Copies of this chain bind each other. A is one copy, B any other.
């Protein structure tokens, strides 16, 4: 198969592994790229030196294309961009900021730039900024999320109506069914996060991986909307947030409770009680920890099977 996404990144399948803090280092990114998808190193939780090391190791672990995801509120942003250029990274996904600021800088260095958006308005802004593709991410996605709360099912066809560049779907996709549905709704490819958290190669702590597998429908919530909305597993830390909400807290009080390094504590160190566990609603469909290549193999097999099933529907 060749489509706008496989051509843009020179990959086999239009499947992108989301760049996720504390989860997607070079091991996961290279495993996904070796399996025919596009692996992304998540720079958001890495000091500049750590990121450089992961890029270098990724280049050794795969000869296939891979990329780096950079949240644009990153404190050492200029240093990070310098490393990206120096190490010859060819693909950058940016999120959570203004795509106008760095898109041309990166493109002038022959880097393909993709920006993540949560609404039609931001999709239009990203297109205006000249990015090469858009990721449209729905309300059901894990981690940080948009304020409009538009779901994948409605966001994709709305962005499809205005898009002039390739569109990648994110939020709620973990299976071949989901991938096919996203493409039916107008996407050219998919970005998958939660399912790769529960992969053998992810850097997530084994406790967190098991917790993802155990999470069922209704087991996550989008909370801390007064700060940056974030979708979390409803663990003890989440319950503390809910208790605080009953006291009608100020933004400062919410920030104090959140504190620092909660995500590292939960997702990397495996503290399921006090840590922040970012995952999507689709965790309810994830039942086993598997190697990344197996995940991709299963997604493609289900995609083909379901495509055949729906193709026989006639009116």
Contacts and interface: CB of A to CB of B under 8 A. Distances in A.
B161 A285 contact: yes
Contact of A184 (B121, B180, B315): B180
A122 to B, nearest CB: 10
B151 A151 contact: yes
Interface centre among A218, A221, A313 (most CB of B within 10 A): A218
A153 B180 contact: no
Nearest to A169: B153
A313 B1 contact: yes
A129 to B, nearest CB: 19
Interface residues of A, number: 55
Contacts of A285: 154, 157-158, 161
Q: How many copies does the complex hold?
A: 2
A271 interface: no
A86 interface: no
A307 interface: yes
Interface stretch (A58-66, A171-179, A198-206): A171-179
Contacts of A181: 153, 181-182, 184-185
Nearest to A2: B314
B151 A172 contact: yes
A232 to B, nearest CB: 13
Nearest to A159: B217
A148 interface: yes
Given A153-B138, A175-B157, A311 B311 contact: yes
A36 B36 CA distance: 44
B152 A153 contact: yes
B218 A148 contact: yes
A22 interface: no
A140 B148 contact: no
A248 B315 CA distance: 53
15 contacts: A1-B314, A1-B315, A121-B218, A138-B153, A140-B154, A150-B284, A151-B172, A153-B153, A153-B173, A154-B280, A157-B178, A157-B285, A180-B310, A181-B185, A184-B184
9 closest cross-chain pairs (CB), A and B: A148-B218, A153-B172, A120-B217, A151-B151, A248-B248, A181-B181, A154-B281, A181-B184, A140-B151
